[in-house]
């Protein structure tokens, strides 16, 4: 997985902060596709997910573990 790839979220991370907004964002994202914006050294991908909250995509971003996504399109 690399920046620019398109990924589908196949699961929410098993450990999330204990607040309803964070859990709601991840729950809404499962099954949807997003471009990878950035990759951390530990492999987590940054995804801009504002659209699932009814706002422009860059308004909300998440970091998600690679085992929670599948690559469905690769960047050039």
| pLDDT at res. 75 | 85
At 24, the pLDDT band (50, 70, 90 cuts) reads very high
What global pTM score does this model have?
A: 0.90
How does pLDDT run across 38-72, given as a tens digit for each residue?
Answer: 999 999 999 999 999 999 999 999 999 999 999 99
Inform me whether the pLDDT recorded for 35 exceeds 90.
yes
Give the integer Cα–Cα distance in Å for 7 and 31: 10
């Amino acid at each position: 997985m690399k920046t620019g790839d398109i990924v589908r979220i196949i699961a929410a991370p098993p450990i999330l902060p204990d607040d309803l907004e964070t859990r709601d964002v991840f729950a809404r994202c499962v099954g949807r596709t997003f471009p990878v914006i950035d990759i951390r050294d530990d492999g987590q991908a940054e995804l801009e997910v504002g659209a699932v909250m009814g706002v422009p995509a860059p308004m909300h971003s998440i970091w998600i573990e690679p085992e929670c996504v599948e690559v469905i399109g690769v960047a050039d």
